Structures are given as C-alpha cells and as structure tokens.
C-alpha cells in the first residue's frame, strides 16, 4: 500500500517515471492508473481492488431456483418422488431449460430442503 500511496503523491516532474517503474517492477500503465484513481477517489483509489468477476456466468437464475423449490414442495405434498432427477424430468417436460441433476440437488441442499 505504501508504494501505491507514494506513486499517487509523488511529483512526476522530479522523477524519471520509466526508471522508477523498472526499479519497482511495475508497468507505466499501472503507475498512471494508480495516479488517476488517486486523483478521482483519494486514498480509497489506491487500495487494491478485487479481481473476482462481478457475476457468475453459469449461475442458475433465481426464477429457476424458485421453480425447483416450488416443484419439490408440490411433489412432496402429493406424496410423489421429489428427488432431483424427478424434478429435472418435470422441468424438461414443462419446456423449462433445467440445470443438471447435481445442480438441482445443490440448490435444494442450499435452500435447506435437500435430503
């Protein structure tokens, strides 16, 4: 953090930026990104940021998860088999793009109704 803050607060007219970057093993793009973020956000701009994706590309939608839970409860209330394979069959039969059996099982477990 101290190197980032030093980069953000240094006077570039007094420093050879290319040499500084070589000595500290950072790119000039990174150097100027830190300075730009510091100018826009202050000290919060020099803090390391998460590199995790903002969304999970293959996540099952909440609508489908709710449909799985509803179907599970309905099948269970009717006294029918309410396992993940049966739920997948019913979803496929209804024309819903169903996740895999293992994903259905994980959804039911996460929601506290898996067995």
pLDDT at 32: 94
pTM, entire model: 0.57
Helical pair 84-93 and 101-110, crossing angle rounded to 10 deg: 110
pLDDT at 60 > cutoff 80: yes
User: pLDDT of 13-57, one tens digit each?
Assistant: 899 999 999 999 999 999 999 999 999 999 888 888 899 998 888
9: left (phi over 0), alpha (psi -120 to 50) or beta: alpha
- Tokens 């510091």: give the residue: 38
Question: From CA 5, how far away is CA 1, in angstroms rounded?
Answer: 6
pLDDT at 73 > cutoff 90: yes
Question: From CA 102, how far away is CA 93, in angstroms rounded?
Answer: 18
Domain spans, the chain: 2-46, 62-110
Q: What are phi and psi of 26, to 5 degrees?
A: -130, 160
């Amino acid at each position: 953090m101290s190197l980032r803050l030093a980069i953000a607060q240094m006077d570039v007219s007094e420093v050879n930026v290319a040499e500084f970057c070589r000595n500290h093993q950072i790119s000039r793009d990174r150097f100027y990104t830190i300075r730009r973020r510091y100018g826009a956000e202050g000290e919060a701009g020099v803090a390391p940021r998460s590199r995790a994706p903002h969304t999970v590309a293959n996540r099952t939608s909440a609508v489908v998860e709710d449909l799985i839970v509803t179907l599970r409860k309905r099948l269970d209330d009717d006294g029918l088999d309410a396992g993940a394979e049966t739920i997948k069959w019913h979803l496929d039969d209804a024309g819903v793009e169903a996740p895999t059996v293992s994903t259905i099982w994980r959804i039911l477990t996460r929601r506290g109704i898996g067995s």
